[in-house]
A and B are shown apart, each in its own frame.
Chain A
Amino acid sequence: MTGTAVPPITPRGEEARYYERLRAHEVTYQGCADCDSVIFPLRTVCPGCGSESLEDRVSSGRGSIHSFTTQHRAGHPLLADRVPYTLVLVDLDEGFRVMADLPGVDPESVAVGQSVEAWFDDIDERLTVLRFRRAGEDS
């Protein structure tokens, strides 16, 4: 456990299930049994066809940087001692996009298209947060 503080969240229902799976170090997305849509964030109905027949799938955690920004101001008081920090939108290989961060990188070295892989930050006894590192780098 890193003990890193993060802004509080209140996940409910399928959101809570996503975080339960993160706790087991799995990134969960969904596939629709009726129309093959890839779905993220988790839903109760398919936005492609309205089906309720959705199945949870586990992502490889591998993807590429769709875009990024390095913030020189904190987005929350709990993150004040981390600035500057770099946030990323990652296109996962399975075809969905997540927001996360890329801790500890040199901001100048980050570029659109770089390969990244997921890692799991166990914040405390209950919460695990998804983060990324560049493929082949240590986090």
Chain B
Amino acid sequence: MSIRGTAAIVGAAQVDTFRTEGRSPVGLMAVSVTRALADAGLTLADVDGVFTSSSYYAFPSLTLSEYLGIHPRFVDTTAIGGASFVAHLGHAAAAIQAGLCEVAVVAYGSTQRSDAGKLVSMAESSPYEAPYGLIHPIGAFGMVANRHMAQYGTTSEQLAELAVAARAWSLLTDDAPYPAPLTIDEVVSSPVIASPLHKLDCCLVTDGGGAVVLVSAERARDLRSDPVYLLGTGEAQNHRNFSQMPDLTSTEASRSSARALEMAGVTLGEIDTVHVYDAFTISLLVLLEDLGFCAKGEGGAFVEGGRVAPGGELALNTNGAGLSHVHPGMLGMFLIIEAVQQLRGAAGRRQVPDARLSLVHGMGLTLAAHATAVLSNQPPA
């Protein structure tokens, strides 16, 4: 038994993805849910499954359901950081297949930017790590970058290529928050925050809400939107405390993506658009290696020369993603929504022609948790 192709995304919406005007985190979630339902031709009365995670609310399914006035019969608040929402896709498909719910909403909302850029987190501090004042997460990613550089000779200029490419993609959206191109020089001459990472190696800090609606593939065919089928999902994880990450330069992304691709029955080479969590340039580089786009240690050379910029070989993070478009604390939801846009042919100037297959990879905490999804606008064969 597999969930391959059994569920589809039939509605998607995002709101206030840079700065909100007067909406709370749950307010952002709620309006994203109702707009995603409208996109699907459904209403709140149809929703019986709620999937969410939050840095603000300890019991986010209760918070969101009360706010919306709904009474779901199935909820899942799996919390693995920014990867949560990609994991929720698979959990929702399984719940739908098992008959535990019929209309599932996956939702997220954050006012990270309005909160004056301070990372909001309910996370406990580790007694083994807290005394030293590591800034989560950039301090950890500085250590990942220094290790990658020492092991493989990766340079700051190579990392900067990813920030430059992300900016170029974001300029193809209609709501680019920083509407000017970026150069490698500008990235490496921006202030160092946690060596060797510069300010412009970091994702944006934005507000934002997002939601997607899933139903069974059968029901999807009767709804107004073109279904985006969930062909495969995979998860993997290996630490909580950064100091206990087994290998700073390789992650469980290789396992989660292999699981997702195997379930989907497709190979990496068949994927048309790729959406990979980019909290920092270095985290994206490590994930590109682990996902198999290049060999371990060769990420620096791989991203040189605009290979992942518009017009390059790999359509990666086609709206600029976290580095240049939206990153409200957790990004996973917005990677899914961009993939849906591409697969619906609704991505405007950044549309990848004839995109049929997308890979979404969510990462949580310090490369600790991973969830991969393979999506398609074609029903499974």
A residues touching B (Cβ–Cβ < 8 Å)? Answer: 6-12, 15, 18-19, 41, 66-76, 78-79, 82, 85, 87, 89, 97-101, 107, 111-113, 129
Contact = CB atoms under 8 A, between A and B. Distances in A.
Interface in B188-209: 191-197
A39 B194 CA distance: 29
Nearest to B147: A67
B132 A99 contact: yes
Contacts of B136: 75
Contact of B195 (A9, A70, A113): A70
Nearest to A86: B195
Interface stretch (B25-33, B121-129, B173-181, B254-262): B121-129
Interface of A is mostly: mixed
Given A6-B131, A87-B134, A72 B125 contact: no
Given A11-B127, A15-B128, A69 B133 contact: no
Q: For chain B, which range describes its interface: under 10, 10 to 19, 20 to 34, or 35 or more residues?
A: 20 to 34
Interface stretch (B83-91, B242-250, B291-299, B344-352): B242-250
Nearest to A74: B133
B191 A10 contact: no
Given A18-B128, A74-B135, A87-B139, 8 more contacts: A6-B132, A11-B127, A41-B241, A67-B143, A69-B194, A73-B135, A98-B243, A99-B134
A73 B202 CA distance: 14
A67 B127 contact: no
B45 interface: no
B146 interface: yes
Contacts of B381: none
A89 B143 contact: yes
Given A71-B142, A76-B133, A113-B150, A10 B192 contact: no
Contacts of A100: 132
A129 B147 CA distance: 25
B130 interface: yes
B144 interface: yes
A71 B248 contact: no
Contact of A69 (B142, B150, B244): B142
Contact of A71 (B127, B128, B150, B193): B193
A29 B196 CA distance: 31
Nearest to B197: A69
A47 B128 CA distance: 18
A112 B241 contact: no
Contact of B147 (A8, A107, A112): A112
Contacts of B150: 67, 111-113
A9 B147 contact: no
A7 B143 contact: no
Contacts of B132: 6, 75, 87, 99-101
A81 to B, nearest CB: 12
B131 A129 contact: yes
Given A9-B130, A98-B128, A99-B243, A71 B135 contact: yes
Interface string B133-162: 111101110111111001100000000000
A71 B146 contact: no
Contacts of A15: 127-128
